[in-house]
Every structure is written in structure tokens, then in C-alpha cells.
Amino acid sequence: MGAAMAIARADITGLVLAGGRGTRMGGIDKGLQLFQGEALAAHAVRRLRPQVGRVLVNANRNFPAYEALGVPVVADSLPDHPGPLAGMLSGLEHCATPWLLTVPCDTPRFPPDLAARLAAALADGGDHARIAMASAPEVGPDGLTVLRRQPVFCLLHVELRDSLQCFIEDGGRKVGAWTAQHGAVTVPFDRPGDAPDAFFNANTPADLQALEHP
């Protein structure tokens, strides 16, 4: 199916990325940390379900806890867990639909229309558009508000699997560097009514506390 055609919900697999080392969380499994009494990954799964046809979780430890979320769990196929790109590659390897939508496990308030808006941007981008990513307003150190890309919130076509594998095997680790090779479409989430904290992520225990008590 060409990107210029509408992308149906059933043609998108959602992937929750929970396979990181949790370094800034002290090495704990970030996706299983509690937010409002429930694991962060559970929030992400529930928020994805109505947006896509199928949901997967990428995890590399504590598999029974992730399997208890009721969706298939896929581990990195590459050794040493080399960052979110490895999780994205695993998602592409297990994706049974033309499109994969990735979200991190630590951003429980991501937009409920994320998939629809990224898909619409790809449909408008022509037959060669294969990646769309979100961007969101952020106040910089100079006090000015700018749109910052959120590259892990990414809708991509399964045909990019080989490209991603080669990029990682060549030492690439930055999501933005890889997506730039394919002319990713950037979709701003700055409309009136868009939640200002939709892309706030819990990298540290302090961040998680800030999410619990805004």
C-alpha cells in the first residue's frame, strides 16, 4: 500500500519500547515503575490499543511481568541492548502489518491521536514517505518556545528493516540520524487543545515524581 493512500488502523502495529537499561533510573526496569498505581508500560499499552491494530512490547528482562500486560513481548535480536533502535528493529522483525508505530514506555500521557496524525502526514507526503515522527513545543534555555523532535514517537514502514539493521551494525545509535537518511516527515503537536505535557518522559525518579504530582 502506498503512503499516499490512507493508512488504516489495522495496518499499524504499536510497539512499546521498554528494553532499555534504565541507567538514569539507577538501572531499574523503567517500564515496570509505578505511575498512578500501575506500571508505566501498562499505561502505554492501554493508550496504544485504540490507535493501532495490534500491540507489542519490547523488553529484555522481567518477561513474566511484561507478558502479564496481555500483549506479545519481543526481545532485542542484537546483543548488549544498544539503545532504542535495537528495540525498533526487533519490532520491525516481528511486525505483521505494513506500518510500525513506536512509543517509549516512560511517557504515559502521549497523544491519544498520535497514530492518526502521523498516518495522515504520511498519506499527505506522497508514495515515497516512509517515516513520520512527532515534534512538540519546548521552552529552551533562552526562554523561547521551539518545536523539538520526538524521534522515538515514530511511524515507519516495515520495508525499512534492512536499512535500520545496517545502520546499527555500522555503529549507528541515534534515532534521528537514521530517520534523517529517509527524509522523515515531522508532525507538530502544537494545536490548541494539545496537552503541553503529552511528551514529558520519566527518565529519572525525580521525573516520575513530577509526573505523579504536576
Per DSSP, the residues of 30-73 read GGGSEETTEEHHHHHHHHHGGGSSEEEEE-SS-HHHHHTTSS-E
Residues annotated within the binding site for Mg(2+) are: 106
User: What is the DSSP secondary structure assignment for residue 7, as one 8-state letter?
Assistant: P
Residue 6: DSSP 8-state: P
CB 133 within 8 A of CB 121: no
Q: What is the pLDDT of residue 3?
A: 44
Residue 25 has pLDDT above 50, yes or no: yes
**Residue ranges per structural domain of the chain:** 9-212
Q: Which residues are annotated as a binding site for GTP?
A: 17-19, 30, 58, 76, 106
Give the separation between CA 193 and CA 50, rounded to whole angstroms: 20
* Known binding-site positions: 17-19, 30, 58, 76, 106
Q: Cβ(161)–Cβ(92) under 8 Å?
A: yes
∠ CA 107-110-114, nearest 5°, is 140
Q: The C-alpha cell of 176 is what?
A: 534521528
pLDDT in tens, 48-71: 999 999 999 999 999 999 999 999
Decide: 181 and 171 in contact? Cβ < 8 Å: no
User: pLDDT band at 201, cuts 50/70/90?
Assistant: very high
| Nearest by Cα to 77 from 65, 69, 68, 86 | 86
What is the tens place of the pLDDT at every residue in 89-147?
999 999 999 999 999 999 999 999 999 999 999 988 767 789 999 999 988 888 888 99
pTM: 0.94
In the predicted model, is pLDDT for residue 44 greater than 50?
yes
pLDDT tens-digit map of 139-189: 888 888 899 999 999 999 999 999 999 999 999 999 999 999 999 999 999
CATH number of this structure's domain 9-212, picked from the four choices 1.10.15.40, 3.60.21.70, 3.90.550.10, 3.40.50.1220 = 3.90.550.10
Evaluate whether 45 touches 55 at the Cβ level (below 8 Å): yes
Retrieve residue 179's grid coordinates.
Answer: 530517520
Encode burial over 3-15: b for 16+ CB neighbours within 10 A, e otherwise: beeebebeebbbb
